[in-house]
Structure 1
Amino acid sequence: MAHFDETAVAQRYGRLPKSDDDAVQYLKALKVIISADGEAHAAELEALRKGLGKLGLTPDLAKQLESFDGHGAKLESVLPKMKPGGLRARMLVRDAIELSRADGKYAQEEKAAVAKAAQLLGVDETTVKSIESLVELEHAVKHLRKALFPKKKK
């Protein structure tokens, strides 16, 4: 039985993880990366929780991830098996960059952890730079949209 909304996960990632354990390992890897600068900041954890909510994780799986301390954990021990350089590997890199920036700062330690994860996952440096640029561009577009089309206060 899946511990997440299969439709939401398939829409976001293009396919489902091979197992619940792969999904947990993926999420733990994200937590390790956002903890690379010494702690997972509140804004980063909130962005992770928000993302988990969109994926429809069961409370049991969310609790398991919540209790995992990413600080000091080794990426090699939590990264799920993926096709080197494949879609899931590139999505993990993207998710890690997005979450790392959630506190307004993409710390050098987080950037180094993303680079290490990318290397372990077979994602080349040029692709990582392109993903970083994409995330930055998406962030800028989001802020521009908010500035041009502010929501009315009720």
Structure 2
Amino acid sequence: MKPRHKRLAIAGGVLVAVGAIATLVLNAFQSNLVFFYSPSQVVAKEVPDGRTFRLGGMVEDGSVKREGVMVSFVVTDTVQKVPVRFEGILPDLFKEGKGVVAQGKVEGGTFIAKEVLAKHDENYMPPEAAEALKRAKEGGQMQSSQAATGDPR
């Protein structure tokens, strides 16, 4: 085999390997993608059949019903409503009238959630961080009042 043919064979082999790797990576991404849909999109049947997706909206007031670890509630986007069923422990931030994201599938008109995430607003701060800031602020005010009065304590 001539050197030129060897180089072409190696280049062709590398190209095939890169193509195979790219195909595998893209296939893995496709199977792990979880899209987000609103209740209006679910009611309009814009969701993929048989695929897991995320449903987001607000928990409708008065809709939460608990039977042991089975919880049912309604998620709304103020236009449409989707009934949700979840078996498990809900997050502490889960409340009626608050935001929620549930991951699962639609079965028979009901969204069967495998995971429920309670949303919080952008002002959320972990309690430990809030306490630390409060102490720091109080300490700063104490130092400034001492400086103003001339008290060296």
Which TM-score band (shorter chain)? under 0.3
TM-score (normalised: structure 2): 0.19
Higher helix share: 1
Higher relative contact order (CA 8 A, sep 6+): 1
Bigger Cα Rg: 2
